[in-house]
């Protein structure tokens, strides 16, 4: 293909705090209205509700020092009152006529905020780098998640808070895409517009930053949320705890807050209606002092409204020194003021809080729910490999089969997935050899996958044949012992060659075993594990693998090498790391080793234990599947992960070790000329190539001086393919690549960021109408039918045709689209800092190339500095006459000018100079 042709949400926002002295008056002034019901019914309901509310508030106030009364309120009175109201998670139900809570007067009129948290800042500009607190260091996942963001997180501190970090990390873990707005004290609330209607949920890291808004701002937010059906999750969390909590009436919201209390236990509210929780199982609780953990600081929220449902209760000390269960999380189903809210007085540190957060998302919008199914596949690697003394005996095999049967009662068809290296068969002691025989004798009771014959790391073998040979031996072994290895799945020792990709491994796998799925912990990096994901390459689906806390050397519950291992495993199983891994990942592939099934049989203890804990505390439906089906399920769930991202193996020590002994990243380019097409990029490539210290990529027989890796199908040829385009780097040399297709590519910026995060990027900005015409002429010269059959102005007007021919529409798009400079620049700036980007005036390149080359040498910091006056000569400048396209580009150019001003860059002369020679064209 020719290089030039590749395509490229009426709220009661004003209720006054009872504890400020004017509370009773306020309640008298509050009006209740049952929107949409007949008037007489409204009257009765209104009377009952008002009466109940007054009784409630009086009792609450009297009970401020009597925790027992509060207990009765939350545990007995509130639920009884609530029986009058149907509660449903069905979103249609939530739209039914509802109580509208209206306050009299303005909260802001006579109450001074006790905490100064006004909103202030406009939404973060799309291209400004995110605060470090939630920045993804890998560069692979931009704010995680699938599709367009449905969640908007409001951050109350510019640098982020601990709770903000916990929120964003959890969203990243469950792969929900989100945006963040920082809302600082002192400036107005960002204006919510149509673009915010895409959100289903607003998450506030500090509820008070919303409560302390002025009445008008809060009304604006409330109206927007109600109108657009947006729910709210809001945190009121203390950083530290004390025995005596601080009591506070929340401003404009019917909750009496007791802050900073030490909780000894969290449990799901016993008063909650049945079926309220989705993930959490009714009765779930967590004892926070059992293992000597620090007590958890919580905010107790005493609801002063019958329609605020306690979700979670915390066991906290009361003034009378009697520990009491009080609500630390509330659900507002939207029948108070039309806005659905979950208020959390707990952080996100433990399993119960995390799962409550999942349930909160589901309460607010069914589309924000993870599936309830949890798939678990347990690989048992290194079958036969372990040294004598720590292998499985025949008793261990029997125990494994029995454990498998018990697990099957909870996970239908649960089957251990065994990976073997036949070379080591019968290499143990007498009891262990009986174990080997028991394994092959029960082969049909397990799933199997072929490993390397002698557990060799494939990346140490240079060719496909080198890798095939040992694989074939293993396959032959499997045939001899009637082991079915046609499962289409395998793993590589130490993840070798899977990622970064060792091409011969993928070839050999396909040829010997017909591999269609594998798994690794290393993509894109081992840590942080919440960013682990899958990818597909050359027909093989690579699943992310999770960790279970067992390694080849963890053999006993207690040993000098691993003191306290049993306690650690118990913690992990009982709500800790392993429990949470499964709770937050719908599809789990765990790697264990043969040694974990011998000795103290830790693997059996761990998996039976975690399954039991999950069943006790959650409503998850536990399942299993063979790896290939699981891989299909994974990419059905996360289709956006199919395309790989290639990172620089040399930026990760682990990747260096499992990539390839004879490969280097030295040749990866330092700079890229991005385009766009027809702006003089070839001339610039040539000029740069004249410099003794600048080395460009090798030419291509098909795309000439361009590699076109990041923008198109070449990307799927892999990193090795890309590296072949670069000569060996001489000392002091700077290597650059030029592909004019990169600039307007939607995918290129993220891909370049993953592989070349520090690259310097050069963009040529020619008047866009000139670029468009040049592209048209180029297509004429190449005999493109649409260009030959239509004049330039006909091409430009093609959008006016009712049914423009495909070729014509495509030509128009390729003429016009790349010249929408601001759009494309903004995309690059989402991934790269402005300092990495040089914007060259394309007109200046034509008229004063020497000056441009000085600018480039400076930007690239290349030595020696060459006097290009001696190397190139300006051969005269052509002028062309265009105006038909000016109108089209006017808004884009205005956006570009504004962007350049924000970046404090001098705009190209053509952008500010209206005296260009522009005449009407045909
Ligand atoms: N020295 C110098 N400085 C600036 N511009 C120059 C220079 N030399 C050539 N050109 C003009 O660049 C146009 C081709 O641009 P590209 O090389 O980017 O085209 S491509 O995308 O690589 O096909 C092409 O424009 P058109 O003549 O309008 O086609 C070239 O004339």
What ipTM was reported for this prediction? Answer: 0.97
CA distances from 618 to 104, 279, 373, 613 (A): 43, 5, 11, 8
Atom of ligand 1 nearest to the CA of 685: 17
In whole angstroms, give the CA distance from residue 341 to residue 34. 19
Q: Is 303 helix (H, G, I), strand (E, B) or coil?
A: strand
Scan for tokens 């560069």, then name that residue.
139
Q: 3-state DSSP helix/strand/coil percent for the chain, to nearest 5?
A: 40, 15, 45
Q: Decide the pairing of beta strands 31-34 and 99-102.
A: antiparallel
Atom of ligand 1 nearest to the CA of 872: 1
C-beta of residue 742 within 8 angstroms of C-beta of residue 653: no
In whole angstroms, give the CA distance from residue 646 to residue 311. 44
C-beta of residue 833 within 8 angstroms of C-beta of residue 841: no
> What is the distance in A from the centroid of ligand 1 to the CA of 771?
9
> What is the distance in A from the centroid of ligand 1 to the CA of 671?
20
> What is the distance in A from the centroid of ligand 1 to the CA of 662?
39
What pLDDT, on the 0 to 100 scale, is given for residue 913?
74
Q: Decide the pairing of beta strands 837-841 and 760-765.
A: parallel
Residue bearing the CA closest to ligand 1, atom 17: 682
Residue bearing the CA closest to ligand 1, atom 31: 680
Residues in the chain: 922
Ligand 1 pocket by Cβ (under 6 Å): 4, 677-683, 740, 774, 777-778, 845-846, 849
Choose the residue to mutate in 673, 676, 678, 690 for probing ligand 1, maximizing ligand atoms within 8 Å of C-beta: 678
> What is the distance in A from the centroid of ligand 1 to the CA of 216?
56
φ, ψ (nearest 5 deg) of residue 100: -110, 120
Closest CA to 333 of 343, 323, 325, 322: 343
In whole angstroms, give the CA distance from residue 359 to residue 338. 20
φ, ψ (nearest 5 deg) of residue 859: -65, -40
Scan for tokens 């079915």, then name that residue.
484
Q: Is 678 tagged catalytic?
A: yes
Closest CA to 425 of 487, 382, 467, 486: 382
Residue bearing the CA closest to ligand 1, atom 3: 846
In whole angstroms, give the CA distance from residue 585 to residue 173. 8
Q: Decide the pairing of beta strands 734-738 and 255-263.
A: unpaired
Structure tokens at 327: 């609500």
In whole angstroms, give the CA distance from residue 752 to residue 758. 9
Chunked mean pLDDT (size 10), the chain, 922 residues: 37 24 24 26 44 48 33 28 28 26 21 22 29 31 56 90 95 95 79 93 94 91 96 85 69 90 92 88 89 78 94 86 90 94 96 97 94 98 96 98 98 98 98 98 97 94 96 97 96 96 97 97 96 97 97 95 96 97 98 97 98 98 98 97 97 93 90 98 97 96 96 97 96 97 98 97 97 97 97 94 95 98 97 98 95 98 96 72 80 96 94 53 38
In whole angstroms, give the CA distance from residue 497 to residue 673. 31
Choose the residue to mutate in 682, 708, 787, 873 for probing ligand 1, maximizing ligand atoms within 8 Å of C-beta: 682
DSSP character for 783?
T
φ, ψ (nearest 5 deg) of residue 402: -65, -40
> What is the distance in A from the centroid of ligand 1 to the CA of 686?
11
Residue bearing the CA closest to ligand 1, atom 21: 677
Sheet with 760-765: list strands edge to edge: 694-696, 734-738, 671-675, 760-765, 837-841
User: Residue 463, class by beta-carbon neighbours within 10 Å (0-12 exposed, 13-18 middle, 19+ buried)?
Assistant: exposed
Cβ atoms within 10 Å, residue 656: 17
In whole angstroms, give the CA distance from residue 601 to residue 593. 11
CA distances from 756 to 91, 337, 528 (A): 46, 51, 20
The whole-model pTM stands at 0.83
> What is the distance in A from the centroid of ligand 1 to the CA of 745?
20
C-beta of residue 908 within 8 angstroms of C-beta of residue 843: yes
Residue bearing the CA closest to ligand 1, atom 29: 774
The CA-based angle 358-627-449, given to 5 degrees, is: 145
> What is the distance in A from the centroid of ligand 1 to the CA of 681?
6
Q: What is the 3-state secondary structure (H, E, C) of 142-197?
A: CCCCCCCCCEEEEECCCCCCHHHHHHHHHHHHCCCCEEEEECCCCCCCCCCCHHHH
Task: Please tell me which residue in 175, 678, 753, 760 is annotated as part of the active site.
Answer: 678
Choose the residue to mutate in 711, 767, 774, 875 for probing ligand 1, maximizing ligand atoms within 8 Å of C-beta: 774
Residue bearing the CA closest to ligand 1, atom 10: 680
Determine if residue 403 is labeled as part of a ligand binding site: no
Atom of ligand 1 nearest to the CA of 773: 28
Atom of ligand 1 nearest to the CA of 675: 18
Structure tokens at 394: 């025949």
Q: Is 574 helix (H, G, I), strand (E, B) or coil?
A: coil
C-beta of residue 31 within 8 angstroms of C-beta of residue 102: yes
- Which residues lie closer than 8 Å to 355 by C-beta, 6 or more apart? 279, 280, 284, 583, 617, 618
Residue bearing the CA closest to ligand 1, atom 12: 680
DSSP character for 515?
-
Scan for tokens 């790989």, then name that residue.
644
């Amino acid at each position: 293909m020719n290089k030039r042709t590749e395509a490229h949400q009426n709220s009661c926002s004003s209720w006054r705090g009872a504890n400020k002295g004017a509370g009773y008056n306020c309640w008298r002034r509050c009006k209740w209205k049952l929107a949409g019901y007949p008037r007489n019914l409204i009257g009765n309901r209104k009377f009952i509700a008002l009466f109940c509310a007054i009784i409630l508030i009086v009792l609450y106030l009297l009970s401020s020092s009597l925790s027992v009364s509060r207990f009765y309120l939350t545990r007995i009175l509130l639920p009884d009152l609530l029986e009058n109201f149907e509660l449903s998670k069905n979103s249609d139900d939530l739209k039914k006529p509802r109580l509208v809570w209206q306050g009299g007067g303005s909260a802001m009129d006579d109450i001074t905020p006790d905490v100064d948290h006004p909103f202030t800042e406009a939404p973060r500009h799309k291209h400004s780098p995110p605060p470090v607190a939630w920045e993804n260091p890998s560069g692979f996942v931009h704010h995680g998640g699938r599709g367009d963001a449905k969640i908007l997180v409001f951050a109350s501190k510019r640098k982020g808070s601990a709770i903000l970090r916990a929120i964003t990390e959890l969203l990243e873990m469950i792969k929900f895409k989100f945006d963040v707005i920082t809302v600082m004290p002192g400036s107005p609330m960002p204006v919510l517009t149509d673009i915010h209607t895409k959100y289903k949920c607003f998450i506030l890291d500090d509820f008070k930053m919303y409560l302390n808004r002025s009445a008008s701002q809060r009304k604006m937010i409330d109206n927007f949320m109600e109108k657009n059906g947006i729910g709210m999750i809001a945190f009121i969390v203390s950083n530290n705890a004390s025995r005596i909590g601080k009591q506070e009436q929340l401003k404009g919201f019917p909750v009496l807050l007791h802050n900073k209390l030490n909780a000894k236990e969290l449990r799901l509210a016993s008063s909650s209606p049945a079926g309220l929780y989705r993930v959490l199982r009714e009765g779930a609780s967590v004892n926070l002092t059992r293992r000597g953990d620090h007590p958890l600081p919580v905010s107790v929220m005493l609801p002063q409204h019958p329609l605020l449902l306690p979700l979670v209760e915390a066991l906290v000390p009361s003034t009378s020194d009697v520990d009491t269960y009080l609500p630390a999380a509330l659900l507002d189903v939207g029948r108070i003021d039309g806005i659905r809210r979950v208020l959390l007085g707990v952080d996100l540190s433990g399993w119960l809080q995390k799962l409550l957060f999942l349930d909160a998302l589901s309460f607010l919008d069914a589309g924000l729910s993870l599936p309830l199914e949890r798939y678990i596949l347990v690989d048992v690697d290194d079958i036969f490999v372990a040294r004598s003394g720590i292998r499985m005996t025949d008793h261990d095999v029997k125990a494994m089969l029995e454990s498998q049967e018990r697990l099957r009662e909870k996970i239908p068809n649960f089957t251990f997935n065994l990976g073997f290296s036949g070379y080591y068969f019968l290499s143990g002691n007498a009891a262990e050899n009986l174990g080997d025989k028991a394994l092959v004798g029960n082969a049909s009771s397990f799933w199997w996958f072929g490993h390397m014959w002698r557990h060799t790391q494939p990346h140490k073998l240079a060719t496909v044949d080198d890798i095939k040979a040992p694989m074939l031996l293993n396959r032959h072994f499997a045939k001899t012992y009637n082991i079915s290895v046609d499962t289409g799945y395998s793993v590589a020792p130490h993840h070798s060659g899977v990622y970064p990709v060792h091409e011969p491994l993928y070839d050999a796998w396909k040829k010997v075993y017909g591999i269609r799925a594998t798994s690794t912990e290393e993509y894109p990096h081992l840590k942080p594990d919440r960013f682990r994901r899958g990818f597909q390459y050359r027909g093989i689906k690579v699943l992310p693998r999770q960790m279970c806390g067992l390694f080849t050397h963890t053999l006993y519950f207690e040993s000098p090498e691993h003191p306290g291992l049993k306690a650690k495993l118990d913690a992990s199983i009982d709500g800790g790391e392993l429990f949470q891994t499964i709770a937050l990942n719908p599809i789990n592939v765990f790697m264990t080793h043969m040694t974990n099934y011998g000795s103290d049989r830790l693997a059996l203890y761990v998996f039976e234990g975690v399954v039991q804990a999950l069943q006790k505390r959650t409503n998850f439906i536990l399942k299993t599947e063979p790896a290939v089906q699981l891989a299909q399920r994974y990419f059905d769930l996360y289709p956006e992960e199919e395309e790989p991202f290639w990172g620089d193996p040399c930026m990760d020590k682990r990747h260096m070790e499992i990539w390839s002994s004879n490969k280097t990243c030295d040749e990866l380019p330092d700079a890229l000329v991005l385009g766009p097409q027809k702006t003089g990029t070839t001339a610039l490539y040539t000029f740069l190539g004249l410099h003794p210290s600048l080395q460009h990529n090798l030419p291509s027989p098909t795309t000439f001086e361009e590699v076109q890796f990041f923008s198109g199908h070449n990307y799927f040829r892999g990193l090795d393919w890309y590296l072949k385009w670069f000569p060996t780097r001489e000392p002091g040399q700077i290597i650059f690549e030029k592909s004019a297709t990169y600039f307007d590519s939607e995918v290129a910026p993220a891909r370049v960021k993953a592989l070349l995060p520090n690259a310097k990027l050069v963009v040529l900005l020619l008047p866009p109408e000139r670029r468009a015409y040049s592209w048209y002429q180029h297509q004429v010269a190449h005999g493109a039918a649409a260009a030959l059959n239509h004049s330039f102005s006909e091409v430009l007007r093609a959008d006016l045709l009712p049914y423009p021919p495909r070729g014509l529409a495509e030509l128009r798009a390729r003429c016009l689209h790349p010249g929408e400079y601001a759009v494309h620049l903004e995309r690059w700036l989402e991934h790269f800092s402005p300092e990495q980007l040089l914007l060259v005036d394309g007109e200046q390149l034509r008229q004063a190339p020497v000056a441009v080359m000085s600018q480039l040498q400076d930007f690239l910091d290349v030595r020696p500095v060459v006097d290009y006056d001696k190397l190139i000569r300006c051969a005269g400048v052509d002028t062309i006459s265009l105006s038909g396209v000016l109108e089209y580009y006017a808004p884009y150019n205005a956006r570009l000018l504004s962007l350049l001003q924000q970046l404090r860059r001098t705009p190209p002369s053509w952008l500010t100079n209206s005296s260009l020679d522009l005449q009407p064209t045909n």
